[in-house]
Chains A and B, each alone.
Chain A
Amino acid sequence: MASDEITDEALSGPVVDRRTTTALLGAAGLGALAGCTSGGGGDDGGGEATDTAADDSGGETEETTAPPEDKQGGRLQAGWFTGSVDSLDPPYISVGQYFQVAANIFNGLVTLNQDLTVRGDLAKDWEVTNNGSTFTFDLREGVTFHNGSEFTAEDVRYTINRTISEETPAAPKLSTLQPVDDGGVVVEDDYTVTLNFEQAMAPALIYLTRGPGRAATIVSKDAIEEMGREQYAVTPVGTGPFEVESHEVGSELRLTAYDDYFETDDDGNALPYLDGVTITPIPEPASIVNALQSGDIHLANLIPLQNVTQVEDASSVTKLEAPGVNWYGLAMNQDREPFGSREVRMAIAKCIDTDAFIETAYFGNALTAKGPINKATNWVWRDDKPNDQAFDREEGMTMLSDAGADGASFSILTTQSSLRQAQAMRQQLNRSGLNVDIEQVTSSTYWARYEEGDYDVTISGSVGDPDPDQSLWNFYRKDGPWNWVNYQSDDVHQLLEDQRRELDREERASILQELEDQLISDVPHAYLSHQSDLAARRNEVQGFTHIPFMRPLETVYLND
């Protein structure tokens, strides 16, 4: 294999090849909008869809099968598996399902293709210099916001400055950017803008994508000043394919096609094809699937796992499935006995029959995880990961008894939404002679207790990890913000630093693999699963491109 160094040239746009991109996705980590606190989780992934080939010749839009002339238009009724879409203000969004909507209203500087390559969005091209720490973007001209004002380089500066100065949840993604007013963002002219990072920042592009990136999803200064931040979160103004017509939070969000949207399909037809989209939040699992079958909605952004069979059996509905870009594991609080002992954690891991767990917990809709790195990140995935944690109940029970922890009593902290997983886990552990109960709390309580370390074990992980970096970076550094198992390893801490600085992709992969081996052997989590990404559409919905973590609707049309 040729060596795949991330050179400045490879990073420059508009199309970055897949291998480079997957490497890039890493350091940035689209991952872990972890928790996806309330609202049913927001993991997803690919799926059957139209062909989307981002060829190397530099096409700026994805190839989509254009609908027949008479099929254009119409209003898509979409169901969102959540109680309400509370915020559409990109840098403030902390729930995957919300940015799945916002990415239809806004554009980033760049965006993702279906195969996770990066392509230009509001930037039509870019150049990387200064050993990877300077990014110069060449912006599209003639783009307007939904309120008619023109998009220029000033909007990029305003957006990034706002993300950082208002300490939004997305701000940490740009923590290595130089101060905005002191060289961080330089407006060269109306259509050229330069970002300067303090050090080589290979993952920068990921933070600048629409949807999962969010740090530089371009917002309208005029609209924010006119309506105020609160209202902007409900009825925002962007440059994207759809504009907000009305939004009754919790009830209905009506989007209308933006007539002056800049993007076209390969034949030059204006996008989006639809006239509009109505998004109804439907938090009840049976209801969203019934609504799909009855035709009340055309598309469900997620399907509850317990209803997958119902979707598969319905002739009018097609299931959309892709391997998930996530991982889940049993987090064991090392500040509580007996989980401080590596032997005990390993013994517990060996007592879990992950295949049976997945069958019960996810109705089989998941892949067994040996470590935290998921299969969608091809370049670093191995089929032959170490089997240290593999199921062997007999050995596990012997190890427990050697460590004096046989019959230990503890509880699994869980919320309603992961109760099923907790029950499947209890079953596994109690079969091994442990004495485990479940403590179910609301999601606010859950997060408060998890963060304060007020729990024994819980099922946790990262809901979206197109690159291993971000979740591992946050979970396993000694002072990592999500290190709630209190895992302290100098080696892992150092490896995490190293892989961020390593620009050679193969080298970086091997560092990450060494890191994963260490994690498998130290058992901060007993690794369990990579959950599949499931959505569903009615058969008349055509042209849907299922990009991981996103639900883009601009190429969708109805074929009644």
Chain B
Amino acid sequence: MWRYIVKRIGHAIFVMWLVATTVFFGLRAIPGGPVRSMLGQEATPEAVASLRAELGLDQPLPVQYGDFLTDLLALDLGRSITSNEQVVTILVDAAPRTFAIAGVGVALGLAVAIPAGVIGATRRNEPADYAATLAAFLGISMPAFFVGILLAILFGVYLNVLPIVGYTPMSAGVVPWLQSIILPATAVGLPYAAGVTRMMRSSLIETLDEGYMRTAVAKGVGSRVRLYKHAMQNALIPVVTIAGIQLAIVLGGTVTVEIVFSIQGLGRVLVNSILERNYPVTQVTILLISGIFVSMNLIVDLAYTALDPRIRYGGESA
């Protein structure tokens, strides 16, 4: 068991190294560097050369790569090339915004998806089911970006009840904070809800047809208990799996939604830094995001062995 854990952690570190290396060389393989974006067209070749030297971009690639890894191990994440801010500061500012949007988005999504899925499954082929299915299809086909623009026009321009630009930190009050993220969170939450609704519905329909459900009917178990205790518990297992996998969709959605609502979160930081060839920011942001995914996977893998004794991993004799 311990050997397995050590092996999994080693594997995770290897993946992170691979990501770091790929990002490092990948970025530099794209033509165009950061210097011209910073200095503009007016800069003289001498100014360009001296800034390149200052940033260490005139060094051979292997040297730059060595410096990059050394700095990374020393947890020196460097400064943004364009604004000179510490990369750590940028991420510490940006990450809570993204997590707030994603977190509220997921909560909203689940709050909509599970009831909608249950309605769809229990009132199959009734108007309520058609409505839920149609809404889910719309949600799947509309990207978060587009939902965001629609929400901004509806709640900002027409109803004029919610702000559509910027982020208010929670320190300014929970209500203003919630007002500033409710639209972006809805924009990422709805497409997420659509996927979960469909899974909830089909999984519940399948479960309701199981033999043990008929047994429950025969035993005279009440319909509510049947649905919420016997059926739901079993039907939720694939839903939880999907809900987890779909988190990637939520994080992907925040990238575009942050741009629509002008919120400087991780997604917008990443996109801007790539466009400006802001190497330090791009590298660290990608490492942070992949770090989150890698550690989530690690935790899930380790949790399986703890939660379900039937799950055993290789290397141990049965």
* Chain A residues in the interface with B (C-beta under 8 A): 32-38, 79, 83-84, 86-87, 92, 94-95, 167-172, 229-231, 233-234, 248-252, 280-284, 286-287, 290-291, 293-297, 441-449, 451, 481-482
Of the residues A169, A172, A234, contact of B83 by C-beta under 8 Å = A234
B18 at the interface (CB under 8 A from A): no
Report whether A296 and B84 are in contact in the complex, using a CB–CB cutoff of 8 Å.
no
Q: How far is the CA of A523 from the CA of B61 in the complex (A)?
A: 42
Beta-carbon contact of B156 and A294 below 8 Å: yes
| Known pairs A94-B43, A233-B84; A38 contacts B31 (CB<8 A) | no
Nearest chain-A residue to B152 (Cβ)? A290
The 4 closest A-B pairs by CB, nearest first: A94-B40, A444-B32, A230-B84, A294-B156
Flag if A482 contacts B166 (CB, 8 Å): no
Question: A293 contacts which chain B residues (CB < 8 A)?
Answer: 156-157
Q: Is the CB of B268 within 8 A of A37?
A: no
B276 touches A444 (CB 8 A): yes
Residues of chain B with a CB closer than 8 A to A297's CB: 165
List residues of chain B with CB under 8 Å of any chain A CB.
30-34, 36-44, 46-47, 50, 79-80, 82-85, 90, 93, 149, 152-153, 156-157, 160, 163-167, 259-264, 268-269, 272, 274-277
Determine the distance from Cα of A34 to Cα of B272 in the docked complex, in whole angstroms: 20
Give the shortest distance, in Å, between A439 (CB) and chain B (any CB).
12
Residues of A within 8 A of B31 (CB): 441, 444-445, 448-449
A167 to B35, CA, bound (A): 14
A233, B272: Cα distance in complex, Å: 18
Rounded to whole angstroms, the CA-CA distance of A167 and B54 in the bound complex is: 13
Q: Is the CB of B85 within 8 A of A234?
A: yes
- Residue numbers in A under 8 Å from B268 (CB-CB): 83, 250
Whether B44 and A287, one on each chain, are in contact in the complex, defined by CB atoms closer than 8 angstroms, is: no
Q: Closest residue of chain A to B85, judged by CB?
A: A249
Q: How many angstroms between the C-alpha atoms of A250 and B165 in the bound complex?
A: 12
- Report chain A residues within 8 Å CB of B149: 286-287, 290
Also in contact, A296 and B33, with CB within 8 A (given A83-B272, A248-B93): no
Contact A283/B165 with A250-B272, A251-B93, A290-B152 known, Cβ cut-off 8 Å? no
CB-CB under 8 A for A94 and B272, given A280-B166, A296-B165, A448-B32: no
Bound: A236/B46 CA distance, A = 26
Q: In the complex, A253→B141 CA distance in Å? A: 37
Taking the closest CB of chain B, its distance from the CB of A94, in whole angstroms, is 2
Contact B36 A447 (CB under 8 A): yes
B264 CB contact (under 8 Å) in A171, A250, A442, A451:
A250
Residues of B near A83 (CB, < 8 A) are 268, 272, 275
Shortest Cβ distance from residue B166 to the other chain A in the assembled complex, whole angstroms: 5
Q: Do B42 and A34 touch (CB < 8 A)?
A: yes
**How many Å lie between the Cα of A438 and that of B163 in the bound state?**
38
Q: Once bound together, how far apart are the Cα atoms of A248 and B107, in whole Å?
A: 28
The smallest C-beta distance from A301 to any residue of chain B, in angstroms, reads: 14
Q: Are A35 and B84 in contact (CB under 8 A)?
A: no
**Cross-chain contact A443 with B261 (CB below 8 angstroms):** no
Contacts beyond the supplied A444-B32, A449-B32: 17 A-B pairs with Cβ under 8 Å: A32-B42, A83-B272, A87-B38, A92-B39, A171-B47, A231-B84, A249-B80, A286-B260, A287-B262, A290-B152, A290-B153, A294-B160, A294-B164, A441-B32, A442-B274, A448-B31, A448-B33
Contact, CB under 8 Å: B156 / A296: yes
Contact B43–A284 (Cβ < 8 Å): no
In whole angstroms, what is the CA distance A448 to B276 when docked? 12
In whole angstroms, how far apart are the Cα atoms of A442 and B90 in the complex? Answer: 23
Contact of B41 among A32, A87, A230, A248 (CB under 8 A): A32
* CB-based contact B41/A34 at 8 Å: yes
Min distance, Cβ B243 to any Cβ of chain A, angstroms: 29
CA distance A168 to B38 in the complex (A): 11
- Of the A-B pairs whose beta carbons lie under 8 Å apart in the complex, a sample of 20, sorted by A's number, is A33-B41, A35-B40, A84-B82, A86-B83, A172-B42, A233-B83, A234-B84, A249-B80, A249-B264, A250-B272, A286-B260, A287-B165, A443-B37, A444-B275, A444-B276, A445-B30, A447-B37, A447-B41, A448-B36, A451-B36
Provide the bound-state CA to CA distance between A251 and B268, in Å.
Answer: 10
Tell which of A169, A280, A296 touches B43, judged by Cβ atoms closer than 8 Å. Answer: A169
> CA of A86 to CA of B277 in the docked complex: distance in angstroms?
14
Smallest beta-carbon distance B298→chain A, Å: 31
Contacts of B40 in A (CB 8 A): 33-37, 94-95, 169
Q: Which residue in B42, B260, B261 is a CB contact (below 8 Å) of A169?
A: B42
Instruction: Judge whether A444 and B34 touch: CB under 8 Å.
Output: yes
Contacts of A448 in B (CB 8 A): 31-33, 36
Most B-side CB within 10 Å, residue of A87, A167, A231: A167
Closest residue on chain B to residue A36 by CB atoms:
B40
A491 vs B268: C-alpha distance when bound (angstroms): 49
Tell me the complex Cα distance, A58–B266, Å.
52
Q: How far is the CB of B33 from chain A (nearest CB, A)?
A: 7
| Interchain CA distance A33-B90 in the complex, whole Å | 28
**Measured between alpha carbons, how far is A287 from B165 in the docked complex, in Å?**
8
- Separation of A293 and B160 alpha carbons in the complex (Å): 9
Return chain B residues, CB-CB under 8 Å to A92. Answer: 39
A35/B275 in contact, CB under 8 A = no
Q: Is the CB of A283 within 8 A of B44?
A: no
Q: In the assembled complex, which residues on chain A have CB atoms less than 8 Å from the CB atom of B85?
A: 230, 234, 249
Question: Is A170 a contact partner of B42 (Cβ separation < 8 A)?
Answer: yes
Residues A444 and B36 in contact, CB atoms below 8 Å apart: yes
Question: For A34, what are the chain B residues with a Cβ–Cβ distance below 8 Å?
Answer: 40-42
Residues of the B chain whose Cβ atoms lie less than 8 Å from the Cβ of A283: 259, 262
A172 near B156 (CB under 8 angstroms)? no
Inter-chain contact B165/A291, CB cutoff 8 Å: yes
User: Given the complex of chains A and B, what is the CA–CA distance between A37 and B31 in angstroms?
Assistant: 15
> Distance in Å from the Cβ of B121 to the closest Cβ of chain A?
38
In the complex formed, the residue of A with least CB distance to B167 is A251
Q: Shortest Cβ distance from A291 into chain B, in angstroms?
A: 4
With contacts A294-B164, A445-B30, A448-B32 known, is A287 near B41, CB below 8 A? no
Given the complex of chains A and B, what is the CA–CA distance between A193 and B44 in angstroms?
A: 28
Q: How far is the CA of A32 from the CA of B43 in the complex (A)?
A: 12
Nearest to A98 among chain B residues (CB) is B40
Assess the B157–A294 pair: CB atoms within 8 A: yes
Q: A250-B268, A445-B31, A448-B31 are in contact. Are A287 and B160 (CB under 8 A)?
A: no
Contact call A281/B47, Cβ cutoff below 8 A: no
Smallest distance from the beta carbon of A163 to chain B beta carbons, Å?
A: 12
